[in-house]
Structure 1
Protein backbone atom coordinates (compact mmCIF):
# COMPACT_ATOMS: atom_id res chain seq x y z
CA UNK A 1 0.00 0.00 0.00
CA UNK A 2 1.27 3.49 -0.88
CA UNK A 3 3.03 5.30 1.92
CA UNK A 4 0.72 8.31 1.84
CA UNK A 5 -2.27 6.14 2.77
CA UNK A 6 -1.92 6.73 6.51
CA UNK A 7 -4.55 7.83 8.95
CA UNK A 8 -5.30 11.57 8.62
CA UNK A 9 -3.79 11.91 5.14
CA UNK A 10 -5.59 14.23 2.74
CA UNK A 11 -6.44 12.62 -0.60
CA UNK A 12 -8.59 13.01 -3.68
CA UNK A 13 -11.28 10.39 -4.17
CA UNK A 14 -12.73 9.80 -7.60
CA UNK A 15 -16.48 9.24 -7.32
CA UNK A 16 -17.99 8.54 -10.73
CA UNK A 17 -17.01 11.55 -12.87
CA UNK A 18 -15.94 13.92 -10.08
CA UNK A 19 -13.10 14.29 -7.59
CA UNK A 20 -13.94 14.72 -3.92
CA UNK A 21 -11.58 15.98 -1.18
CA UNK A 22 -11.36 13.33 1.52
CA UNK A 23 -9.44 12.24 4.61
CA UNK A 24 -8.10 8.76 5.34
CA UNK A 25 -10.01 7.58 8.43
CA UNK A 26 -8.27 4.24 8.75
CA UNK A 27 -6.41 1.65 6.72
CA UNK A 28 -6.12 -2.06 7.32
CA UNK A 29 -2.79 -3.58 6.39
CA UNK A 30 -4.31 -7.07 6.65
CA UNK A 31 -6.87 -6.92 3.85
CA UNK A 32 -5.82 -3.57 2.41
CA UNK A 33 -9.20 -1.89 3.03
CA UNK A 34 -9.03 1.91 3.01
CA UNK A 35 -11.73 3.91 4.81
CA UNK A 36 -12.16 7.46 3.51
CA UNK A 37 -14.39 10.25 4.79
CA UNK A 38 -15.27 12.81 2.13
CA UNK A 39 -15.48 16.45 3.17
CA UNK A 40 -19.20 16.34 2.43
CA UNK A 41 -19.83 13.53 4.94
CA UNK A 42 -19.81 10.43 2.76
CA UNK A 43 -17.86 7.41 4.09
CA UNK A 44 -16.27 5.25 1.38
CA UNK A 45 -14.59 1.85 1.69
CA UNK A 46 -11.96 1.11 -0.94
CA UNK A 47 -10.63 -2.42 -1.32
CA UNK A 48 -7.03 -3.25 -2.16
CA UNK A 49 -8.08 -4.47 -5.59
CA UNK A 50 -9.62 -1.05 -6.35
CA UNK A 51 -6.66 1.02 -5.22
CA UNK A 52 -5.01 2.79 -8.12
CA UNK A 53 -3.93 6.26 -9.11
CA UNK A 54 -7.25 6.94 -10.86
CA UNK A 55 -9.34 6.06 -7.79
CA UNK A 56 -7.41 7.60 -4.88
CA UNK A 57 -4.35 9.85 -4.92
CA UNK A 58 -2.60 12.21 -2.52
CA UNK A 59 -3.63 15.83 -2.25
CA UNK A 60 -0.91 18.36 -3.03
CA UNK A 61 0.20 20.46 0.01
CA UNK A 62 -0.97 23.65 -1.72
CA UNK A 63 -4.50 22.25 -1.86
CA UNK A 64 -4.37 21.21 1.79
CA UNK A 65 -3.36 24.64 3.06
CA UNK A 66 -5.06 26.78 0.42
CA UNK A 67 -3.50 29.60 -1.60
CA UNK A 68 -4.35 33.25 -2.28
CA UNK A 69 -3.48 32.91 -5.97
CA UNK A 70 -4.81 29.77 -7.61
CA UNK A 71 -2.27 29.99 -10.42
CA UNK A 72 0.19 28.68 -7.79
CA UNK A 73 -1.82 25.54 -7.02
CA UNK A 74 0.20 22.38 -7.45
CA UNK A 75 -2.72 20.65 -9.15
CA UNK A 76 -5.00 22.44 -11.57
CA UNK A 77 -8.33 20.72 -11.95
CA UNK A 78 -11.89 21.78 -11.20
CA UNK A 79 -12.05 20.02 -7.83
CA UNK A 80 -8.85 21.69 -6.58
CA UNK A 81 -10.14 25.12 -7.61
CA UNK A 82 -13.51 24.63 -5.92
CA UNK A 83 -11.85 23.18 -2.81
CA UNK A 84 -9.49 26.15 -2.54
CA UNK A 85 -12.37 28.62 -2.87
CA UNK A 86 -14.28 26.72 -0.17
CA UNK A 87 -11.29 26.68 2.20
CA UNK A 88 -10.98 30.46 1.95
CA UNK A 89 -14.74 30.99 2.11
CA UNK A 90 -14.90 29.15 5.45
CA UNK A 91 -12.42 31.70 6.82
CA UNK A 92 -14.37 34.67 5.36
CA UNK A 93 -11.68 35.16 2.71
CA UNK A 94 -14.15 35.68 -0.11
CA UNK A 95 -11.59 37.00 -2.64
CA UNK A 96 -9.06 34.82 -4.43
CA UNK A 97 -6.73 35.68 -7.30
CA UNK A 98 -6.31 33.61 -10.44
CA UNK A 99 -3.35 35.44 -11.88
CA UNK A 100 -4.70 38.87 -12.82
CA UNK A 101 -8.33 37.71 -12.43
CA UNK A 102 -10.17 38.12 -9.14
CA UNK A 103 -12.69 35.45 -8.09
CA UNK A 104 -15.29 36.61 -5.54
CA UNK A 105 -17.63 34.33 -3.60
CA UNK A 106 -20.78 35.98 -2.28
CA UNK A 107 -20.81 35.45 1.53
CA UNK A 108 -24.49 36.46 1.85
CA UNK A 109 -23.60 38.25 5.07
CA UNK A 110 -21.74 41.33 6.26
CA UNK A 111 -18.05 40.80 7.00
CA UNK A 112 -16.91 43.35 9.54
CA UNK A 113 -14.28 45.82 8.38
CA UNK A 114 -13.87 44.36 4.89
CA UNK A 115 -14.71 47.63 3.12
CA UNK A 116 -13.94 50.22 5.79
CA UNK A 117 -12.21 53.55 4.99
CA UNK A 118 -9.04 52.15 6.57
CA UNK A 119 -9.05 49.26 4.09
CA UNK A 120 -9.59 51.67 1.20
CA UNK A 121 -6.61 53.71 2.36
CA UNK A 122 -4.47 50.59 2.79
CA UNK A 123 -5.08 49.26 -0.72
CA UNK A 124 -4.63 52.69 -2.30
CA UNK A 125 -0.97 52.65 -1.20
CA UNK A 126 0.01 49.21 -2.54
CA UNK A 127 0.40 47.56 -5.91
CA UNK A 128 -1.53 44.51 -7.03
CA UNK A 129 -0.21 41.39 -5.30
CA UNK A 130 1.36 43.15 -2.32
CA UNK A 131 -1.74 42.68 -0.16
CA UNK A 132 -4.31 39.84 0.09
CA UNK A 133 -6.79 39.57 -2.81
CA UNK A 134 -9.50 42.23 -2.70
CA UNK A 135 -11.73 44.08 -5.12
CA UNK A 136 -10.05 47.31 -3.98
CA UNK A 137 -6.73 45.91 -5.24
CA UNK A 138 -8.25 45.52 -8.72
CA UNK A 139 -9.76 49.01 -8.58
CA UNK A 140 -6.44 50.51 -7.47
CA UNK A 141 -4.51 48.74 -10.23
CA UNK A 142 -7.03 50.01 -12.77
CA UNK A 143 -6.66 53.58 -11.49
CA UNK A 144 -2.85 53.41 -11.46
CA UNK A 145 -2.71 51.98 -15.00
CA UNK A 146 -4.54 55.04 -16.33
CA UNK A 147 -1.39 57.04 -15.66
CA UNK A 148 1.18 54.25 -15.98
CA UNK A 149 0.05 53.10 -19.43
CA UNK A 150 -1.66 56.32 -20.56
CA UNK A 151 -4.53 54.25 -21.87
CA UNK A 152 -8.16 53.60 -21.02
CA UNK A 153 -8.84 50.74 -18.61
CA UNK A 154 -11.75 48.31 -18.39
CA UNK A 155 -13.01 46.09 -15.57
CA UNK A 156 -15.35 43.28 -16.61
CA UNK A 157 -17.63 41.91 -13.87
CA UNK A 158 -19.40 38.67 -14.74
CA UNK A 159 -21.09 35.84 -12.87
CA UNK A 160 -24.35 34.01 -12.29
CA UNK A 161 -27.43 35.62 -10.79
CA UNK A 162 -26.79 36.36 -7.12
CA UNK A 163 -23.02 36.19 -7.45
CA UNK A 164 -22.63 39.80 -6.29
CA UNK A 165 -22.02 41.72 -9.53
CA UNK A 166 -24.16 44.72 -8.53
CA UNK A 167 -22.48 45.09 -5.13
CA UNK A 168 -19.03 44.64 -6.68
CA UNK A 169 -19.77 47.48 -9.09
CA UNK A 170 -20.74 49.74 -6.20
CA UNK A 171 -17.50 48.90 -4.37
CA UNK A 172 -15.41 49.70 -7.45
CA UNK A 173 -17.13 53.06 -7.82
CA UNK A 174 -16.70 53.74 -4.09
CA UNK A 175 -12.94 53.14 -4.30
CA UNK A 176 -12.48 55.18 -7.49
CA UNK A 177 -14.44 58.05 -5.96
CA UNK A 178 -12.10 58.13 -2.95
CA UNK A 179 -9.04 58.03 -5.23
CA UNK A 180 -10.50 60.87 -7.27
CA UNK A 181 -11.05 63.02 -4.19
CA UNK A 182 -7.52 62.34 -2.90
CA UNK A 183 -5.69 62.78 -6.22
CA UNK A 184 -3.06 65.44 -6.61
CA UNK A 185 -3.21 66.44 -2.95
CA UNK A 186 -5.76 69.14 -3.72
CA UNK A 187 -9.49 68.97 -2.93
CA UNK A 188 -11.72 68.33 -5.96
CA UNK A 189 -13.83 71.12 -7.37
CA UNK A 190 -17.52 71.41 -6.54
CA UNK A 191 -18.40 70.30 -10.07
CA UNK A 192 -16.22 67.18 -9.78
CA UNK A 193 -17.80 66.27 -6.45
CA UNK A 194 -21.29 66.62 -7.94
CA UNK A 195 -20.37 64.30 -10.83
CA UNK A 196 -19.03 61.66 -8.45
CA UNK A 197 -22.11 61.82 -6.27
CA UNK A 198 -24.44 61.60 -9.25
CA UNK A 199 -22.75 58.43 -10.53
CA UNK A 200 -22.44 56.70 -7.16
CA UNK A 201 -25.89 57.67 -5.89
CA UNK A 202 -27.59 56.57 -9.11
CA UNK A 203 -27.62 52.96 -7.86
CA UNK A 204 -31.00 53.16 -6.06
CA UNK A 205 -32.87 54.44 -9.10
CA UNK A 206 -31.14 51.98 -11.45
CA UNK A 207 -32.02 49.10 -9.13
CA UNK A 208 -35.59 50.29 -8.64
CA UNK A 209 -36.37 50.28 -12.36
CA UNK A 210 -34.09 47.42 -13.42
CA UNK A 211 -33.94 44.93 -10.53
CA UNK A 212 -36.49 42.37 -9.37
CA UNK A 213 -36.89 39.39 -7.05
CA UNK A 214 -36.22 36.05 -8.74
CA UNK A 215 -36.07 32.53 -7.33
CA UNK A 216 -32.27 32.80 -7.18
CA UNK A 217 -31.76 36.37 -6.04
CA UNK A 218 -34.01 38.85 -4.22
CA UNK A 219 -32.31 41.81 -5.89
CA UNK A 220 -31.47 40.46 -9.33
CA UNK A 221 -30.39 42.88 -12.05
CA UNK A 222 -32.58 42.14 -15.05
CA UNK A 223 -30.45 44.23 -17.40
CA UNK A 224 -26.82 44.82 -18.27
CA UNK A 225 -25.01 48.08 -17.87
CA UNK A 226 -21.82 49.75 -19.06
CA UNK A 227 -20.46 52.47 -16.79
CA UNK A 228 -17.96 54.89 -18.29
CA UNK A 229 -15.93 57.32 -16.16
CA UNK A 230 -13.86 60.20 -17.48
CA UNK A 231 -10.83 61.30 -15.48
CA UNK A 232 -8.93 64.57 -15.74
CA UNK A 233 -5.15 64.77 -15.96
CA UNK A 234 -5.08 65.49 -12.24
CA UNK A 235 -6.92 62.22 -11.49
CA UNK A 236 -10.37 63.61 -10.68
CA UNK A 237 -13.58 62.19 -12.08
CA UNK A 238 -14.79 64.80 -14.58
CA UNK A 239 -17.77 63.02 -16.04
CA UNK A 240 -19.35 59.71 -16.85
CA UNK A 241 -22.32 57.91 -18.27
CA UNK A 242 -24.27 54.72 -17.65
CA UNK A 243 -25.56 52.78 -20.64
CA UNK A 244 -28.16 50.08 -20.00
CA UNK A 245 -29.01 47.24 -22.36
CA UNK A 246 -30.87 43.91 -22.58
CA UNK A 247 -33.65 44.92 -20.17
CA UNK A 248 -35.99 41.99 -19.51
CA UNK A 249 -39.11 43.76 -20.79
CA UNK A 250 -41.44 40.76 -20.61
CA UNK A 251 -41.13 40.78 -16.78
CA UNK A 252 -43.48 43.77 -16.73
CA UNK A 253 -46.40 41.59 -17.83
CA UNK A 254 -45.32 38.10 -16.70
CA UNK A 255 -43.27 36.65 -13.83
CA UNK A 256 -42.46 33.06 -12.91
CA UNK A 257 -43.95 31.59 -9.70
CA UNK A 258 -42.27 33.04 -6.59
CA UNK A 259 -40.83 36.03 -8.46
CA UNK A 260 -41.83 39.68 -8.57
CA UNK A 261 -42.17 42.48 -11.06
CA UNK A 262 -39.65 45.34 -10.96
CA UNK A 263 -39.06 46.89 -7.53
CA UNK A 264 -40.34 50.32 -8.55
CA UNK A 265 -43.98 49.23 -8.73
CA UNK A 266 -44.03 47.81 -5.19
CA UNK A 267 -42.00 50.67 -3.73
CA UNK A 268 -44.34 53.24 -5.28
CA UNK A 269 -47.35 51.58 -3.66
CA UNK A 270 -45.50 51.26 -0.33
CA UNK A 271 -43.99 54.74 -0.11
CA UNK A 272 -46.08 57.23 -2.06
CA UNK A 273 -48.27 59.61 -0.06
CA UNK A 274 -52.03 59.76 -0.48
CA UNK A 275 -52.01 62.68 -2.94
CA UNK A 276 -49.57 60.98 -5.30
CA UNK A 277 -51.44 57.68 -5.11
CA UNK A 278 -54.72 59.44 -5.93
CA UNK A 279 -53.07 61.30 -8.80
CA UNK A 280 -52.07 57.98 -10.40
CA UNK A 281 -55.34 56.25 -9.37
CA UNK A 282 -53.51 53.85 -7.05
CA UNK A 283 -56.16 52.94 -4.53
CA UNK A 284 -55.04 49.48 -3.41
CA UNK A 285 -52.02 47.38 -2.46
CA UNK A 286 -49.90 45.29 -4.87
CA UNK A 287 -52.08 42.23 -4.34
CA UNK A 288 -54.94 43.96 -6.16
CA UNK A 289 -53.00 44.34 -9.42
CA UNK A 290 -52.65 41.37 -11.76
CA UNK A 291 -49.22 42.30 -13.12
CA UNK A 292 -47.84 42.58 -9.57
CA UNK A 293 -49.45 39.52 -7.98
CA UNK A 294 -49.86 36.89 -10.71
CA UNK A 295 -46.78 34.98 -9.48
CA UNK A 296 -48.12 34.73 -5.92
CA UNK A 297 -45.32 36.87 -4.43
CA UNK A 298 -45.90 40.51 -3.57
CA UNK A 299 -43.75 40.83 -0.43
CA UNK A 300 -40.34 39.60 0.72
CA UNK A 301 -38.91 40.07 4.21
CA UNK A 302 -35.48 40.94 2.81
CA UNK A 303 -36.82 43.80 0.67
CA UNK A 304 -37.84 47.15 2.14
CA UNK A 305 -40.05 48.67 -0.56
CA UNK A 306 -40.78 51.82 1.43
CA UNK A 307 -37.09 52.50 2.05
CA UNK A 308 -36.32 52.03 -1.65
CA UNK A 309 -38.99 54.58 -2.56
CA UNK A 310 -37.43 57.07 -0.14
CA UNK A 311 -33.97 56.47 -1.65
CA UNK A 312 -35.24 56.96 -5.20
CA UNK A 313 -37.04 60.18 -4.33
CA UNK A 314 -34.05 61.50 -2.38
CA UNK A 315 -31.75 60.85 -5.36
CA UNK A 316 -34.21 62.44 -7.80
CA UNK A 317 -34.58 65.57 -5.68
CA UNK A 318 -30.82 65.87 -5.22
CA UNK A 319 -30.29 65.52 -8.97
CA UNK A 320 -32.83 68.28 -9.70
CA UNK A 321 -31.03 70.54 -7.20
CA UNK A 322 -27.64 69.94 -8.88
CA UNK A 323 -28.92 70.58 -12.37
Structure 2
Protein backbone atom coordinates (compact mmCIF):
# COMPACT_ATOMS: atom_id res chain seq x y z
CA UNK A 1 0.00 0.00 0.00
CA UNK A 2 1.34 3.45 -0.92
CA UNK A 3 2.29 5.82 1.87
CA UNK A 4 0.61 8.68 0.04
CA UNK A 5 -2.11 7.22 -2.20
CA UNK A 6 -4.33 9.14 -4.61
CA UNK A 7 -7.29 7.74 -2.65
CA UNK A 8 -6.94 8.17 1.10
CA UNK A 9 -9.59 5.54 1.75
CA UNK A 10 -6.81 3.05 0.94
CA UNK A 11 -5.00 4.03 4.16
CA UNK A 12 -5.18 1.67 7.13
CA UNK A 13 -6.05 4.53 9.51
CA UNK A 14 -8.37 7.23 8.28
CA UNK A 15 -8.84 9.85 10.95
CA UNK A 16 -8.62 13.65 10.90
CA UNK A 17 -4.90 13.76 11.67
CA UNK A 18 -4.06 11.22 8.96
CA UNK A 19 -6.16 13.06 6.38
CA UNK A 20 -4.64 16.46 7.20
CA UNK A 21 -1.10 15.05 7.13
CA UNK A 22 -1.68 13.27 3.80
CA UNK A 23 -3.23 16.39 2.24
CA UNK A 24 -0.31 18.50 3.49
CA UNK A 25 2.22 16.05 2.05
CA UNK A 26 0.40 15.95 -1.29
CA UNK A 27 0.14 19.76 -1.35
CA UNK A 28 3.89 20.07 -0.75
CA UNK A 29 4.38 17.74 -3.75
CA UNK A 30 2.06 19.98 -5.81
CA UNK A 31 -0.69 17.36 -5.85
CA UNK A 32 -3.72 19.50 -5.18
CA UNK A 33 -6.44 16.87 -5.72
CA UNK A 34 -7.02 13.77 -3.62
CA UNK A 35 -9.82 11.23 -3.47
CA UNK A 36 -11.34 10.00 -0.25
CA UNK A 37 -13.62 7.29 -1.53
CA UNK A 38 -16.11 8.94 -3.89
CA UNK A 39 -15.16 12.45 -2.73
CA UNK A 40 -12.62 14.62 -4.53
CA UNK A 41 -10.79 16.95 -2.13
CA UNK A 42 -9.25 20.03 -3.74
CA UNK A 43 -6.68 22.13 -1.91
CA UNK A 44 -6.39 25.66 -3.32
CA UNK A 45 -2.79 26.14 -4.51
CA UNK A 46 -3.26 29.95 -4.25
CA UNK A 47 -1.24 30.33 -7.45
CA UNK A 48 -1.78 29.71 -11.15
CA UNK A 49 -1.26 26.06 -12.12
CA UNK A 50 -1.14 24.32 -15.48
CA UNK A 51 -3.70 21.60 -14.83
CA UNK A 52 -6.53 22.86 -17.01
CA UNK A 53 -5.19 23.00 -20.56
CA UNK A 54 -6.29 21.16 -23.70
CA UNK A 55 -4.05 18.19 -22.87
CA UNK A 56 -5.81 17.74 -19.53
CA UNK A 57 -9.24 17.94 -21.20
CA UNK A 58 -8.20 15.10 -23.51
CA UNK A 59 -6.58 12.97 -20.78
CA UNK A 60 -9.66 13.07 -18.56
CA UNK A 61 -12.25 12.37 -21.27
CA UNK A 62 -13.82 8.90 -21.50
CA UNK A 63 -11.78 7.30 -18.72
CA UNK A 64 -13.10 3.90 -17.72
CA UNK A 65 -11.85 4.19 -14.13
CA UNK A 66 -10.51 7.13 -12.21
CA UNK A 67 -7.33 5.24 -11.30
CA UNK A 68 -6.10 5.63 -14.88
CA UNK A 69 -5.03 9.23 -14.12
CA UNK A 70 -4.19 11.24 -10.98
CA UNK A 71 -7.15 12.85 -9.16
CA UNK A 72 -8.56 15.87 -11.01
CA UNK A 73 -11.67 18.04 -11.32
CA UNK A 74 -12.07 16.96 -14.92
CA UNK A 75 -12.57 13.34 -13.90
CA UNK A 76 -15.48 14.35 -11.65
CA UNK A 77 -17.07 16.39 -14.44
CA UNK A 78 -16.48 13.68 -17.05
CA UNK A 79 -17.81 10.96 -14.75
CA UNK A 80 -21.02 12.91 -14.10
CA UNK A 81 -21.46 13.56 -17.83
CA UNK A 82 -20.93 9.89 -18.73
CA UNK A 83 -23.40 8.83 -16.02
CA UNK A 84 -25.96 11.27 -17.45
CA UNK A 85 -25.44 9.93 -20.98
CA UNK A 86 -25.49 6.27 -19.92
CA UNK A 87 -28.45 6.37 -17.54
CA UNK A 88 -30.44 9.40 -18.64
CA UNK A 89 -30.70 10.34 -14.97
CA UNK A 90 -29.85 13.82 -13.75
CA UNK A 91 -26.43 14.19 -12.11
CA UNK A 92 -25.15 16.58 -9.48
CA UNK A 93 -21.68 17.71 -8.46
CA UNK A 94 -21.57 19.30 -5.02
CA UNK A 95 -18.82 21.89 -4.60
CA UNK A 96 -18.39 22.87 -0.99
CA UNK A 97 -15.81 24.74 1.06
CA UNK A 98 -14.93 27.83 2.98
CA UNK A 99 -14.74 31.32 1.56
CA UNK A 100 -11.65 31.65 -0.64
CA UNK A 101 -11.26 27.91 -1.05
CA UNK A 102 -11.60 28.12 -4.84
CA UNK A 103 -15.15 26.82 -5.28
CA UNK A 104 -16.06 29.28 -8.04
CA UNK A 105 -12.87 28.64 -10.00
CA UNK A 106 -13.26 24.87 -9.61
CA UNK A 107 -16.84 25.09 -10.85
CA UNK A 108 -15.78 27.16 -13.87
CA UNK A 109 -13.11 24.58 -14.77
CA UNK A 110 -15.61 21.73 -14.52
CA UNK A 111 -18.12 23.63 -16.66
CA UNK A 112 -15.41 24.27 -19.25
CA UNK A 113 -14.65 20.55 -19.31
CA UNK A 114 -18.34 19.75 -19.74
CA UNK A 115 -18.45 22.24 -22.61
CA UNK A 116 -15.47 20.47 -24.25
CA UNK A 117 -16.98 17.01 -24.05
CA UNK A 118 -20.63 17.80 -24.78
CA UNK A 119 -21.96 18.08 -28.33
CA UNK A 120 -23.32 21.60 -27.74
CA UNK A 121 -22.37 24.29 -30.26
CA UNK A 122 -23.18 27.10 -27.83
CA UNK A 123 -19.69 28.52 -27.24
CA UNK A 124 -21.05 31.18 -24.91
CA UNK A 125 -22.82 28.75 -22.57
CA UNK A 126 -20.11 29.09 -19.90
CA UNK A 127 -20.54 32.87 -19.85
CA UNK A 128 -24.31 32.46 -19.59
CA UNK A 129 -23.99 30.06 -16.66
CA UNK A 130 -21.57 32.35 -14.83
CA UNK A 131 -23.89 35.32 -15.44
CA UNK A 132 -26.88 33.42 -14.03
CA UNK A 133 -24.87 32.47 -10.95
CA UNK A 134 -23.70 36.08 -10.53
CA UNK A 135 -27.21 37.45 -10.97
CA UNK A 136 -28.55 35.09 -8.30
CA UNK A 137 -25.62 35.67 -5.95
CA UNK A 138 -23.38 38.71 -6.67
CA UNK A 139 -20.67 37.35 -4.29
CA UNK A 140 -19.92 34.54 -6.78
CA UNK A 141 -18.40 36.73 -9.49
Given candidates 38, 49, 59, the residue that maps to 1:100 is 38
Given candidates 26, 29, 33, the residue that maps to 1:88 is 26
Given candidates 101, 105, 109, the residue that maps to 1:171 is 109
- Deviation by residue 1:33-55 (Cα, 9 ceiling, x = unmatched): xxxxxxxxxxxxxxxxxxxxxxx
Q: Matched residues in 2 for 1:106 and 1:147: separation?
A: 30
Are 2:95 and 1:137 aligned?
Answer: no
Secondary structure of 2:118's counterpart equals: helix
Q: Which runs of 5+ in 1 are unaligned?
A: 1-60, 182-187, 212-220, 222-262, 264-323
Of Structure 1 and Structure 2, the greater strand share is in 1
Cα RMSD between the aligned structures? 2.1
Are 2:50 and 1:122 aligned?
Answer: no
**Corresponding residue for 1:210?**
138
Q: TM-score, normalised by structure 1?
A: 0.40
Q: Which runs of 5+ in 2 are unaligned?
A: none
Q: Matched residues in 1 for 2:84 and 2:67: separation?
A: 18
**Corresponding residue for 1:79?**
17
Deviation at 1:149?
2.0
Deviation at 1:74?
1.5
Secondary structure of 2:60's counterpart equals: helix
Which structure is richer in relative contact order (CA contacts within 8 A, separation 6 or more)? 2
Of Structure 1 and Structure 2, the greater helix share is in 2
- Whose radius of gyration is greater, 1 or 2? 1
Deviation at 1:94?
0.4
Given candidates 44, 47, 50, the residue that maps to 1:109 is 47
**Corresponding residue for 2:127?**
201
- Deviation by residue 1:84-123 (Cα, 9 ceiling, x = unmatched): 0011101111000011110000010011x31110110111
Secondary structure of 1:82's counterpart equals: helix
Deviation at 1:147?
2.1
Q: Matched residues in 2 for 1:142 and 1:204: separation?
A: 23
